[in-house]
Amino acid sequence: MTRSLLSRRAWLAAAAALAARPARAQALPDLHGRKVLAVTENAFPPLNMLDPRTRQGVGWEYDCFNEIARRLHLQVEWHLSSWDAMIESVRNGQFDVGMDGIGIDERRRSQVDFSAPYMHSQMLMMVRADEARFRDPASFRANAKLLAGAQPGTTGFYATARQLLGVASTSPRIKLFETFGASMQALRAGDVDVVLSDPTGASATLARSPGVFRTVGAPLPGEDYGFIVRKGSPLKAPIDAALAQMARDGTLARLDAKWLPGVSAR
């Protein structure tokens, strides 16, 4: 598996722009213990997942946002939501901030505001370890019997349609699943033949199931990930400033080392 897949250019460009402000502007605002309702899914390891021992949510995004909250003096109350309801629940003010490896694109920007990107990820073709019928999008498309699994509305879903199958939105060759984990179970069972994953999800899956899955082909273009907030939310600027500070002082790199071992990030 190619490990150098989490591009740092998009994030570093955003961080550098913030860091270029005058020194007096780099001090983080004090939000005086404001309560923030944060929402995620706990179904996208290692960004967010349920720890089976403690039954608590853990992952890269948890650690990152909890650190942002510490620096800004926010009180975080965590909530769970299904992926298909998450963006709308932030848009309508039910929650203050959402995170679930949410790709920054213009369609979503019309509904919510995004923080500065905290990660950029390409998409990998995940297959069963013994797969020999195809090796890239072209050979996958050429065999009409092959099926792909995807979670509707996600970056993986749109990449499956547009980049893997070359269609505008959907196709009978895409089987839909409620979570990324469910799509990987379907792949394991042979109900589908490929699932697209970013390197974070791929790395976690390969580590949990050695010898069961592998990746094929070159990485497909991906997207920047960002936290989402309501349009015009006063939280956006402080979150961006905290992310820039965490990039400068190495905190984001330490989170990568903890949660994304073996994946080159930033």
Q: Is the CB of residue 256 less than 8 Å from the CB of residue 27? A: no
Within a domain: 64 = yes
**Helices marked H in 40-121 — which ranges?**
60-72, 83-91, 106-109
How many residues are present in the chain? 266
> Which pTM does this prediction carry?
0.75
pLDDT at 87: 96
Instruction: Inform me whether the pLDDT recorded for 16 exceeds 80.
Output: no
pLDDT at 108: 94
Q: Which two tokens stand for residue 214?
A: 């592998």
pLDDT at 122: 87
CATH number at residue 137: 3.40.190.10
Within a domain: 175 = yes
Within a domain: 3 = no
For residues 132 and 182, membership in a common domain is answered with yes
For residues 100 and 157, membership in a common domain is answered with no
For residues 151 and 180, membership in a common domain is answered with yes
Within a domain: 2 = no
Separation CA 215–CA 136 (nearest Å): 10
**Tell me: the pLDDT tens digits for 47-56?**
999 999 999 9
Within a domain: 138 = yes
Which residues span the domain enclosing 147?
Answer: 122-222
Structural domains in the chain (count): 2
CB-based contacts of 62: which residues, under 8 Å, 6+ apart?
40, 48, 78
For residues 183 and 241, membership in a common domain is answered with no
**Tell me: the pLDDT tens digits for 33-79?**
999 999 999 988 889 999 999 999 999 999 999 999 999 999 999 99
